[in-house]
Structure 1
Amino acid sequence: MSYRAASTHRRRRRRDASWRMAIGALLLLCGLTALVSAAGGEEAAAQTALDSSDPADGSTLERSPDELVLNFTRPLGETNRVFVACNSNPARQISRPQLSDDERTLTVEVIRSLPKGTCTASWRVSEPDGRPAATGSFTFEVEAAPATTSPDTTSASTGDGEGDGGSSTDATGATTAGTEASGDGEVGGEGGGDEGDSAAAEVAPIGTFGSAWGLWLGRLLSIGGIAVVFGSLVLIAVAWPEGPEYIIAVRFIRAAWIVGLVGTVLYVAAATASATGGSLGSSINPVEWSDLLDAGWPGRAALARLLLVIAAGWVAFLPERAVESTTQLVGLGIPALAVATIGLTRTTGDLVALGIGMAVLHALAMAVWIGGALFVARIVLAGSGDEDLVHAVRGFSRLSMPAIAVTVVTGIVQLVRLDGGDLFTSGHGRVLLGKSLVVALAVFIAVAARQAVVTRLARAREMEAQDADRLRRAFAFDALLGLGALALTGWMLTYPTPNDTGAATTGDFAVTERVTDPESGVDIAVSLSPGRVGRNELMVEVFEPGEGLRGLEVTFIPPEGSDSPRITQAIGLNGEGLAVSSPGGGIPLADAGTWTMVINASTPDGSIAGGRNTFDVRRADGSLVDSVVGSDTDPTSATTTDDTATTTGSTATDTTGDG
């Protein structure tokens, strides 16, 4: 056999072995994902499920149903919630679900007829021992509009937190957004007309065009930018010391640093808005960012990331500092610490210390893999070149494999820790499954690209244009999939995790205060979640009177010494029913401490003016301030300071489990 034939045969065997290895790695990853998913599917199958419903899923009704009946396969606990939305608008005037004697059926009375259109009933039920059981939904069509006319509604422009407020009610009469405040700063609340700061509450999704999109976009730009900077510098330090001599490489790293800095500033501003309940525009002011120090470790990590990204400019503008022995430790350490702060974004759930360690390793490995792949695709393989380009590509191929392995293993650990068997029954789990598929494809491309490097560049002395073009496409596609996974990560972080004991979800309220006035016949419960600084979901339930209730409003008075404004929220209920803030929205409680809640309303039998309760708002990390309601009084009861009403309630309960 000639030398050429033997060489061709060896290359063919290496190529076949490379593809077998790539396919094997992909099958292994898919098998691990399927194993965890199967375990999740078995656990989900053992959970409570909806057996049938009236209306049935997918049914069409001539008119609005008078009630919804949900039949389940297993007995339920006492903590159950049912929410209805028609044509994407919440239908708030429905009763609390009533549990049947056999504990398998929930009945929800429709107090006000549902509108014409597509309605979705979402439910969340609990186990008999109180643990969350399952969630789900079903849809039905209503063909005819309600025959009754809607009550009078009022509308006013909603303030931005610094001026006049406004209140508005939708066609059902339930308040959807706004505050009430007179133009001179008087707030209808404590006795109706006491002087106070102007109200600034909006019961609407948190920053629909404010902090919500800012958090996602800020995360994406921040994580992507600093990951590319760190991955590029690691590659330069390990395999391409000639990199800083290429002006396009220096410009690329500088551009990535600028993107990371802009994204981090946006992320910090959006995080401040989310933590304090302010607007994104006002939170751009750096003076406001100090509030993140009280927002737990995620808030402190956001500030630390900003400072570290700013410091990373020292090496981003002179990448040779990552190569020189006297500055290499600092040159790589600063961006590495900036990337490590990503691991502190979520600090709750089971085995928190393990989770933080896994998250930090996951972030560092991801940055080396995805950031390095993008740097190789855009810079190293930009065209033909000398032998140093060959060494750079070979070096990244060797470096990327351990990084991919660490990324996958730590990702699986986090999947089990945060989601367990709820991959198919939670929003976080479903997004995570989508991300896993993207990562699996990226791993396949990365392994295939590495084998192509081994095959094509094993004995190369210089980078040929043809090889550079083929490899560039592979690495670019791999990096693109990685950026897609980062985008899904930003989306995934907006969902609470099933195993996160510190996450508040709709229907789980940390604060519940009840006001009862025998003279006027008022019996009202007000609930808040998560009972911490920032936006709190608001639920108001009227038990009595059945009808004839007028002027219901709830005022929240901040702790003594706070400069936060009073917040007055009008509630559009005129009798028995339930009003819930829009998903993701609620009341912005800016300070931790003891707040006072004042309820005003009137009935044909009389009025309740100034029915009060006090409750504790925790810091963002779940800790209590020194002075709390429960320190000197029984946390299960409180006495009003007004003779017209008696109240019972509870202070905010610790949902984190860490005290």
Structure 2
Amino acid sequence: MIGARAARVLGGLLLAVVALLLLPAAPASAHAVLVSSDPADGSRLEQAPAAVRLTFDEGIALPPAATTVLSSTGARVDAGRARLEGRTVVVPLEAAVPEGVYTVAYRVVSADSHVVSGSLRFGVRRDAQAVEGPVSLGSPLDPALGAAIGAGYLGAALGVGAPAAAAVLWPAVQRRRRVLRLAQAGLLVLALATLADLLLRGPRASGGGWAGVLRVEDLGYTVTSPAGAVLLVRLLLVGALAGLSLARAPRPRIAGVLGVGVLTTIALLGHATDGAASLLVPAAVVHLAAMALWLGGLVVLVTAVLPRVRRAPAAGVRLLRRWSLVAYTCVAVLVVTGEVQAFPTVVPLDALWSTGYGVLLLAKLGLLVLVLVLAAAAQRVVAGARVPPRARLCRTAVVEVAGLVAILAVTGALSTTATAAETYGPAVTRTVAAGSDRLVVQVDRTRRGPAVIRVRALDAGGRPIRLRSLEGALGTEGVAALDVAFRRDGDGWRSTGAGLPIAGEWTLTLQTEVSTTAGTAAAVSWPVW
């Protein structure tokens, strides 16, 4: 049995550890973005470089086996392990790289613990076509990690939310065997989900697949990373809560501190660290607490409280009305904190329905509305009857629980998906007058980082014009004009070396030459996210 003094000391130490983990998270930013590379994507070189250099806009971590350089025949030409020089990944190449086209594939971990992957191509004495737009290498472990995160949410709801709801609303059932076993099962699920997270993060970051789950190198990378430290602290917190539960020593203050610590570790590994973490992490903790109390309370209601309605109808009605007030308070908190968290992750509004993250978020909102409709129906039953029909309330509550579990599953998928604000950047086409002709400018993506730009010239009748030359420069407020080199591409021109390192309104200034005596200038602008 844990003594009162020892429990207080343990709770204080664990809370201090969580606080220390939270402090470095405050300046964390969104997913890292590749802002430049040497060689540039799609470039042709007369001589192979000694190394490939990839520069990102923020600090990153480099997991094991994170980069490869392959020829078009599949032969590797990278020599030794890649290394980090500040924000730049340096991939050394073999001494004699033969003529050919090469693909550089990379995986890095950004400050928010999410994996950023992509690829680029260059040619040695050969033309190389750029990799247009971001290319996600993906991982077969993504669904498994999402499932583990979703299971962690469910475990937190049962292991933290259920006993909290019982203690606050229904103290008479708090120490019943059914409630204790429910909490213990939730803590077991949370512990197993955390262990799965520990095993999956390393091989997912390095692209090792299922074969890397038990590889010591990948596990070592995870354990020594900030995310690994958070997961280890969560295991300690869950173990302490399990000890209190098995000892049947409620100690509500200590259990409350440990429960908040568990929810904080969950928030630290989500999108709450994308941006203003000092605001978003507390909002995420409150959001998780409301979710855990609502779902955990519903399960306790079904398993331990509703059976009492049959024995004492009048007392049961009072219990149900008290639960309704708490449930609707949880809903209000979920809506407010959800808005606080969603606002910086869905920018602009178009990203809500044009990105995978936005579609998942809409699905989550749809499920929440459905659950609220069911909750409102149950509330009408309680309010309109002296003795509410127990069977109908049980069915409604069970469906509510199923809806909330579905919401947790979607939330798990959201946790492993890049936010809408981090992936939104659709292709744009701009048409601008150039003397009596027109220039059609196509940009493959409007995200920060490298972009492919195509330019075609048309006469007044819409017929293609063959330009003798094309020169360009890109600029935005606070950034000096960057030269853009164009190469002929069929009837038009193409540039694969353009870099857009920061968000803002960018302007491309073009100098065209139709003949030796006719030249015009034009400029087009577009937003970069």
Q: 1:273 aligns with which of 203, 209, 228?
A: 203
Deviations 1:88-129 (A, max 9, x none): xxxxxx979xxxxxxxxxxxxxxxxxxxxxxxxxxxxxxxxx
**Displacement of 1:497:** 2.1
Q: 2:373 aligns with which of 436, 444, 448?
A: 444
Query: Corresponding residue for 1:453?
Result: 382
**Displacement of 1:237:** 0.7
Q: 1:334 aligns with which of 241, 252, 258?
A: 258
Match of 1:258, as an amino acid? Answer: L
Q: Matched residues in 2 for 1:424 and 1:174: separation?
A: 39
Q: 1:315 aligns with which of 244, 250, 254?
A: 244
Query: Corresponding residue for 2:283?
Result: 358
Q: 2:140 aligns with which of 209, 221, 246?
A: 209
**Displacement of 1:244:** 4.4
Count residues with an aligned counterpart: 335
**Displacement of 1:223:** 0.9
Q: 2:343 aligns with which of 394, 406, 416?
A: 416
Deviations 1:295-341 (A, max 9, x none): 45x554333323322322123435x533xxxx111123212321232
Aligned pairs (5 A) from 1:504-543: none
**Displacement of 1:545:** 13
Match of 2:140, as an amino acid? Answer: F
Structure 1: where are the runs of 5+ without partners? 1-78, 80-93, 97-160, 194-199, 461-465, 513-542, 547-575, 579-656
SS in 2 for 1:271: helix
Q: Matched residues in 2 for 1:333 and 1:381: separation?
A: 29
Deviations 1:47-75 (A, max 9, x none): xxxxxxxxxxxxxxxxxxxxxxxxxxxxx
SS in 1 for 2:352: coil
Match of 1:409, as an amino acid? Answer: V
Query: Corresponding residue for 1:259?
Result: 189
Match of 2:193, as an amino acid? Answer: G
Aligned pairs (5 A) from 1:418-437: 418-420=345-347, 421=349, 422-437=351-366
SS in 2 for 1:495: coil
Structure 2: where are the runs of 5+ without partners? 1-34, 36-40, 44-63, 80-90, 98-104, 108-118, 120-134, 426-443, 452-485, 497-528
Query: Corresponding residue for 1:291?
Result: 221
Query: Corresponding residue for 1:489?
Result: 411
Q: Matched residues in 1 for 2:220 and 2:157: separation?
A: 25
Match of 1:405, as an amino acid? Answer: A
**Displacement of 1:233:** 0.7
**Displacement of 1:363:** 0.9
Flag the 1:347–1:402 CA change in 2: closer, same or farther, 3 A.
closer
**Displacement of 1:225:** 1.0
Any conservation in 1 of the 2:264–2:281 contact (CA below 8 Å)? no
Any conservation in 2 of the 1:276–1:291 contact (CA below 8 Å)? no
SS in 2 for 1:369: helix
Q: 1:346 aligns with which of 246, 249, 271?
A: 271
Query: Corresponding residue for 1:397?
Result: 324
Matched, 1:249 2:179: yes
Query: Corresponding residue for 2:299?
Result: 374
Deviations 1:222-245 (A, max 9, x none): 111111222211121112223245
Flag the 1:336–1:392 CA change in 2: closer, same or farther, 3 A.
farther
Query: Corresponding residue for 1:83?
Result: none
Return 469-478 or 282-291, whichever deviates more. Answer: 282-291
Q: Matched residues in 2 for 1:414 and 1:475: separation?
A: 28
Q: Cα RMSD (Å) of the superposition?
A: 4.6
Match of 2:281, as an amino acid? Answer: I
Query: Corresponding residue for 2:457?
Result: none
Deviations 1:388-432 (A, max 9, x none): 766654443232121111001111222222214121232211221
Query: Corresponding residue for 2:153?
Result: 223
Deviations 1:424-473 (A, max 9, x none): 232211221121111111122223323433444x6x6xxxxx83221111
Q: Matched residues in 1 for 2:147 and 2:487: separation?
A: 45
Q: Matched residues in 2 for 1:445 and 1:304: separation?
A: 37
Query: Corresponding residue for 2:94?
Result: 190
Flag the 1:281–1:385 CA change in 2: closer, same or farther, 3 A.
farther
**Larger helix fraction of residues:** 2
Match of 1:242, as an amino acid? Answer: A
Any conservation in 2 of the 1:231–1:370 contact (CA below 8 Å)? yes
Flag the 1:293–1:377 CA change in 2: closer, same or farther, 3 A.
same
**Displacement of 1:248:** 2.6
Deviations 1:267-308 (A, max 9, x none): 222223334544455445788556346645x55433332332
Flag the 1:274–1:511 CA change in 2: closer, same or farther, 3 A.
farther
Q: Matched residues in 2 for 1:216 and 1:332: separation?
A: 27
State the TM-score, normalizing by the size of structure 2: 0.52
Any conservation in 2 of the 1:231–1:369 contact (CA below 8 Å)? yes
Flag the 1:436–1:507 CA change in 2: closer, same or farther, 3 A.
same
Query: Corresponding residue for 1:234?
Result: 164
Flag the 1:243–1:315 CA change in 2: closer, same or farther, 3 A.
farther
Match of 1:400, as an amino acid? Answer: A
Any conservation in 1 of the 2:139–2:204 contact (CA below 8 Å)? no
Aligned pairs (5 A) from 1:552-631: none
SS in 2 for 1:321: coil
Q: Matched residues in 2 for 1:508 and 1:367: separation?
A: 36
Any conservation in 1 of the 2:199–2:219 contact (CA below 8 Å)? yes
Q: Matched residues in 1 for 2:221 and 2:245: separation?
A: 29
Match of 1:488, as an amino acid? Answer: V
SS in 2 for 1:191: coil
Any conservation in 2 of the 1:378–1:476 contact (CA below 8 Å)? no
Match of 2:344, as an amino acid? Answer: R
